[in-house]
Amino acid sequence: MTAASSSQPESSNGQRRYDPLDTEQRWQSHWKDIDLDSTPAADDPRPPFYALSMFPYPSGSLHMGHVRNYVITDVIARVQRMRGDAVLHPMGWDAFGLPAENAAIERGIDPGVWTDHNIGQMRDQLGRLGLSIDWTREQATCHDDYYRWTQWLFLELQQGGLAYQKEAQVNWDPIDQTVLANEQVDADGKSWRSGAVVEKRLLRQWFLKITDYADALLDDLDQLKGWPERVRTMQANWIGRSKGAEIQFSLTGDAAAAVGADKTITVFTTRPDTLFGASYVVLAPEHPLVNAITSADHRDAVTAFRDLMSTLSSDERTAEDQPKRGLPIGAEVTNPVNGEKLPVWIADYVLADYGTGAVMGVPAHDERDFLFARRHELPVRVVIQVPGADEHLNDGEAWTEPGVLIHSGDFDGMASEEAKEAITAKGRDEGWAQPKVQFRLRDWLISRQRYWGCPIPIIHCDSCGAVPVPREELPVRLPKDADLSGKGGSPLAQLDSWVSVPCPSCGKPARRETDTMDTFMCSSWYFLRFADPGNTDAPFTPEAIARWLPVKQYVGGIEHAILHLLYARFFTKALRDRGLLTIDEPFERLLTQGMVQAVTYRNPRTGRYVAPDRVSDEGDPRDPDDGGELEVLFEKMSKSKYNGVDPAAVIDRYGADTARMFILFKAPPEKDLEWDDADVEGQFRFLQRLWRLVESAATNADQPVCLSGDGALTLPAELSEAEQEVRRAVHTAIAEIGEDLSGDFQFNTAISELMKLSNALSGALETVTPAVRQEALSVLIRLLAPFAPHLAEEFWHRLKGSQSVHQQPWPIHDPAALVKDTIELVIQVKGKVRGSLQVPADADKARLEELALASDVAKKWLEGQSPRRVIVVPGKLVNLVP
Ligand code: ANZ
Ligand code: ZN
């Protein structure tokens, strides 16, 4: 075997020094030669295990967040392989998106060339980490052999009625010059990518009907027992299912006369039980009825208010600390349950695109209504009994809990839950209410007006409408000659040669769709393609999906808790319903790894960060510019905060194995990790200790070790105390690490166990028989293999193991080795500890008494007398009472 012949320098005693770079390069190329990481064939009898990291955007440089993500997945993949599973561990590139297009605009580089260059660079960087990835399955979403199928799947969804076009108020990012999905607008109304304040625009756009799956996406969260509770909660809140009722309030007088056949305002409420407490009805300023029913004397004020509202984002409008602004519009409605006349208002806190865009104001029992009513002097009527108060709100706050109804006619004394049903039922009988389930989730807007994305495969014809490009003509390729100067909107729309095409259906001149797809479309199915990467007839076969999916372990950042993970779940269900696959959920278990943080120095006066090498290091950190004290923080690594650590630099200095060990040891995977050079150094020293341990075993000519003869060695029937100790340490490590690597993946404690084992073995190995020594070394190296794969391989070959260590079975612990056959028995005289004794662990009470009485301690303290009483606590102590 060529790779094992090492170039490691030897020192005078014949022992070699640890040179990580040499070791790692040698084994990486050897593994490539022997195809170690290829995926087992479809008919492999071993159980499948699909380990997947969220694939990266090919920015061109690998950062520590990536490293952590991929190393975690790699350890899991390696452990499962050794445990006997057929492992699929692929990698690809989420390769469409704006940075490539912006590079094209700024530097005139072809986005495809730029992207492929970055991919090459990152693939090399990943290669240095020693990841057990099957690179033959690599996918890049921007290559036409991939996006051909993204288009094909779009047409599947369109044929299933799940893709449609509609004129819509959309989120427009003025910096990136494109539309954003709701999920891509931050809570403060800014673009998740560019940070620009998002504007509203009216445009004709493509949507996917994710709302058809709102119930299923919510209900099936219950199946995802292997997902973090936090992610499930975030998805549930995002989907936002509310059960309630729609209630009709009829318009009166002039307002009624001003509208057509339907003379009602419909509100959506989750609290029909509070209907008797309504003191006004309030519409969103954009509500279509506002124009018609506003009375003449209110018209100017209403117009001014609506203009003001149109400049604000929905989050600005509804911020909790906002005074609730609004005004009456001079119309009246009747409360259907008691005939009471209520004024109609418009207000900032009512949104046009939720529910019906209209609300019944119940100030006593809703926070926002309460603030609004107080500000505008509207009546506050308590209709749910407030505990400890008669009919008033004691502490000047709305009472929003359920309770018992009062001031509610026939419904008095009823509990809220029951009253919700009863009032809705009455309304249904009388024709003014119906039960209604409302979702917060909106359809997914997938149109983007940018070049570097997957073209939507549709042709618009004046006679035939939106016609799908025939499937055999896919992919609709991105044109090479688009103008990417960044001027004048969508580059595709400007390219007439690309836009003008005959209609596939009638042949008349028609126009190609110029929107490209949101890149989240491309990432909504890549995990399926990995199961069947070379298929040229279909995106994948149902059999391939059934073989590998669901992904057994998915690993990625919490930032995708909603966007990607919700879209991927939707795709899976939609494609299942199209008959393309048979699973319900794509990801069985999800691990969301924490951030990699490092120390930052921030000037609290200017808010600016100071690079560590500019911070004076005498005493408290101070800003060299203004001499003031600096805050010391731990924050996510970033260039702008001067706290990034380059993975390549760490690997150059210590090797990938040390980098891996540090990352895994420093914190449990789901927690944030604080970078610390001293701890990196510590892991490096640990690997060097292991190196010396193995070297001394390898160079000990008197006691040669040959791990390839592993199985043939039999343990002697009688083991010495020292041998039992060694075996106990070895099998404890197997048991503990096995535990740490099941379920929650506590890599940090697993590595602590490895350290304990190495301590127990150093110095002890020379004193034990070859069988015990070889067992110990074989186990140690195999347990190390998933964490420090190169070093473990080096050790394995140094001790003449056969094949690769990564092809060895995961060690199984021998429970018998854990049992101590002697234990320490404490001897007391009159309750005072006077000594102790090693006794057989299985000795019974009588035997323990006998042994205690025969001991030197007893002889000394009883002076030949027999004790009056003997108290035996088995496994612990014997108390002699003279
Ligand atoms: C009357 C009421 C009384 C309400 C009460 C609450 C408490 P979720 O759970 O989010 O679905 N609402 C309905 N449509 C709205 C809109 N377009 N903009 C702002 N608010 C709207 O919330 C449903 C509740 O939010 C509804 O129930 C309605 O206020 C309000 F004691 O109706 B409620
Ligand atoms: Zn046509």
Average pLDDT of each block of 10 consecutive residues along the chain (882 residues)? 51 81 97 96 95 95 93 98 97 93 85 95 95 98 98 97 90 80 77 83 91 98 96 97 97 92 95 98 95 95 90 74 88 97 96 93 95 94 83 79 95 96 97 96 92 97 97 96 77 93 97 96 98 97 97 94 95 98 98 92 90 81 87 87 89 97 95 92 97 92 77 79 93 96 91 97 90 94 98 96 95 88 86 87 86 88 87 89 88
**Nearest ligand to the C-alpha atom of residue 468:** 2
Q: Is the CB of 211 under 6 A from ligand 1?
A: no
Q: Distance from the CA of 504 to the center of ligand 2, in angstroms? A: 7
User: Cα(436)–Cα(270) distance, rounded to whole angstroms?
Assistant: 9
* Mutational test site, ligand 1, from 246, 346, 359, max ligand atoms within 8 Å of CB: 359
Strand partners, 172: 179, 199
| Beta carbon of 351 within 6 Å of any ligand 1 atom | yes
Q: Which ligand has the shortest distance to the CA of 501?
A: 2
Ligand 1, atom nearest to 400 Cα = 31
Q: Is residue 347 in contact with ligand 1, taking CB distance under 6 Å? A: no
Q: Is the CB of 360 under 6 A from ligand 1?
A: yes
Name the residue with the closest Cα to ligand 1, atom 8.
242
Q: Contact, 363 vs 398, CB < 8 A?
A: yes
Contact 18, 687 (CB under 8 A): yes
Both tokens assigned to 430: 């009388």
Burial degree of 203 (CB within 10 A; 0-12, 13-18, 19+): middle
Query: Measuring from atom 2 of ligand 1, which residue has the nearest CA?
Result: 271
Contact assessment for residue 524 and residue 143, using Cβ atoms and an 8 Å cutoff: no
Of residues 245, 242, 243, the one with CA closest to residue 428: 245
- Name the one residue in this structure whose structure tokens are 């994948």: 540
Nearest CA to ligand 1 atom 22: 270
Q: What is the DSSP string of 597-617?
A: EEEEEE-TTT--EE-GGGSB-
Instruction: Please identify every residue whose CB atom is under 5 Å from ligand 2, which is an ion.
Output: 461, 463-464, 503, 505-506
Alpha-carbon Rg of the chain, whole angstroms?
36
Minimum CA distance residue for ligand 1 atom 9: 242
- Amino acid occupying residue 95: A
| For the CA of 353, the nearest atom of ligand 1 | 17
Pocket test for ligand 1, best of 248, 269, 393 (most atoms within 8 A of CB): 269
Indicate if the alpha-carbon torsion angle 34, 40, 45, 48 is positive or negative. positive
Output the residue whose Cα is nearest ligand 1's atom 28. 269
Rounded Cα–Cα distance for residues 120 and 116 (Å): 6
Cα–ligand 1 centroid distance for 218 (angstroms): 21
Other CB atoms within a 10 A radius of the CB of residue 721 amount to 10
d(CA 754, CA 75): 15
For atom 18 of ligand 1, which residue has the closest CA? 350
- pLDDT for 2 equals 40
274 lines ligand 1 (CB under 6 A): yes
Residue 166 confidence (pLDDT)? 93
Answer for the pair 185, 426: CB distance below 8 angstroms, yes or no: no
Cβ–ligand 1 distance for 365 under 6 Å, the answer: yes
Q: Looking at ligand 1, which residue's alpha carbon is closest to its atom 31?
A: 365
Cβ(242) – ligand 1 distance below 6 Å: yes
The first and second tokens of residue 436, run together, are 């209604």
- Encoding tokens for residue 426? 């009455």
Q: Which distant-in-sequence residues (6+ apart) come within 8 Å of 91 by Cβ?
A: 53, 55, 70, 126, 131, 133, 135, 137, 138
Q: How far is CA 3 from CA 276, 786, 834, in A?
A: 83, 20, 61
Residue 361: nearest ligand to its CA? 1
Angstrom distance (rounded) from CA 485 to CA 460: 26
Q: Is 848 helix (H, G, I), strand (E, B) or coil?
A: helix
What does the block give as tokens for 376? Answer: 């505008």
The protein residue whose alpha carbon is closest to atom 1 in ligand 1 is 269
Other Cβ atoms within 10 Å of 370 Cβ, number: 23
Give dist(CA 217, CA 212) in Å, integer.
9
C-beta of 271 in contact with ligand 1 (< 6 A): yes
- Ligand 2 centre to CA of 461 (Å) is 5
- Residue identified by tokens 């057990």 is 132
φ and ψ at residue 452, rounded to 5 degrees: -85, 75
- What is the whole-number distance in angstroms between the Cα of residue 366 and the centre of ligand 1? 8
pLDDT at residue 663 in the model: 96
Both tokens of 640, joined, read: 């702008």
Q: How far is CA 809 from the centre of its chain?
A: 31
- Rounded to a whole number of angstroms, the distance between the first and last alpha carbons of the chain is 73
Euclidean distance between CA atoms 326 and 349, whole angstroms = 9
How far out from the chain centre does Cα 406 lie? 47
Helix runs in 582-643, H state only: none
Per-residue b or e along 296-325, where b marks 16 or more CB atoms closer than 10 Å to that residue's CB: eebeeebeebbeebeebbbeebbeeeeebb
**Choice from 237, 268, 351 to test ligand 1 binding pocket (greatest atom count within 8 A of CB):** 268
Which ligand has its closest atom nearest to the C-alpha of 372?
Answer: 1
Ligand 1 within 6 A of CB of 150: no
Does residue 354 have its Cβ closer than 6 Å to ligand 1?
A: yes
Probe target for ligand 1 pocket from 266, 267, 270, 351, with the most ligand atoms within 8 Å of CB: 270
Cα-to-centroid distance, 48 and ligand 1 (Å): 48
- Ligand nearest to C-alpha 346: 1
Residue 522 and residue 144: Cα distance in Å, rounded? Answer: 12
Q: Which pLDDT belongs to residue 3?
A: 44
Q: What is the pLDDT of residue 713?
A: 72
Q: What is the DSSP string of 574-594?
A: HHHHTTS---S-SBSBEEEE-
**Are the CB atoms for 137 and 794 separated by under 8 Å?**
no
Which helix H or strand E contains 180, and what residues bound it? strand 178-180
Nearest to 340 by CA among 272, 409, 388: 409
Give the DSSP letter string of 707-761.
GGGGGG----SS--HHHHHHHHHHHHHHHHHHHHTSSS--HHHHHHHHHHHHHHH
Residue nearest to atom 11 of ligand 1 (CA): 242
Q: Which pLDDT belongs to residue 275?
A: 98
* 265 within 8 A of 289, measured Cβ to Cβ: yes
Burial class (CB in 10 A: 0-12, 13-18, 19+), 103: buried
